[in-house]
Structure 1
Amino acid sequence: MKMLVCCGSGLGSSFMIEMNIQKVLKELNVSNIEVDHSDLGSAKGTPADIYVGTRDIASQLQGLGKAVVSLNNMLDMNELKEKVSATLKELGII
């Protein structure tokens, strides 16, 4: 399973969210998910099961994979953990 974090430029913010998702996955004892980051333009050509982005770009990620995690605040670890774990439960991963 692959999770792709996207932002407008694919550099700082998506990389930071990627690292935070890896922390969340470790807390949830989930180890079979590859996490990567990308810019929005490249996301359309990068297959993933779950796409993660801030609310301003989440609508552009709809339909690319099985699920989209839309973050209101990319710095809020509680929101990130809540939304990632809910998505993983919906997909039967946890």
Structure 2
Amino acid sequence: MKMAAVCGSGLGSSFMVEMNIKTVLAELGLNEIEVNHYDVGSAAPELADVFFVGGDLADSVQHLGNVVVLTSIIDMDELRDKVKKVAEEYNLI
């Protein structure tokens, strides 16, 4: 399974979300999931099973497939809930 964080430039915010996703996955004992980050122009459906994006990019990334929109990219509780929901949907927990 692969997860990805996407932002406008592929630098700061997507990298931060990537690191936070890895933290949540470690808490859940799901260390085998690959997590990367991309800019919106480089992200492609084949690069991940699930893409996490901020609300400002929601309309720009619908072509990616399974997109999880974050209301706040810095809210760990929201991210924890949404990563857990994805893990449950994919029968990982």
| Structure 2 match to 1:34 | 34
- 3-state SS in 1 of match to 2:64: coil
- Computed over aligned residues only, the root mean square deviation of the Cα atoms, in angstroms, reads 1.5
- Specify the alignment match of 1:13 in structure 2: 13
Q: Give the equivalent residue in structure 1 for 2:75.
A: 76
How is 1:43-82 mapped onto 2 (pairs within 5 angstroms)?
43-44=43-44, 47-65=47-65, 67-82=66-81
2: CA distance, partners of 1:23 / 1:81: 9
Q: Which runs of 5+ in 2 are unaligned?
A: none
The count of aligned residue pairs is 93
Task: Point out 4+ residue stretches in structure 1 off by more than 4 angstroms.
Answer: none
TM-score after normalising by structure 2: 0.90
Q: CA deviation at 1:58?
A: 2.4
| TM-score normalised per structure 1 | 0.90
Aligned to 1:86: 85
User: Is the partner of 1:89 in helix, strand or coil?
Assistant: helix
1:60 CA drift (Å): 2.6
* 1:52–1:58 contact (8 Å) kept in structure 2: no
Query: Does the aligned pair in 1 maintain the 2:45–2:64 contact within 8 Å?
Result: no
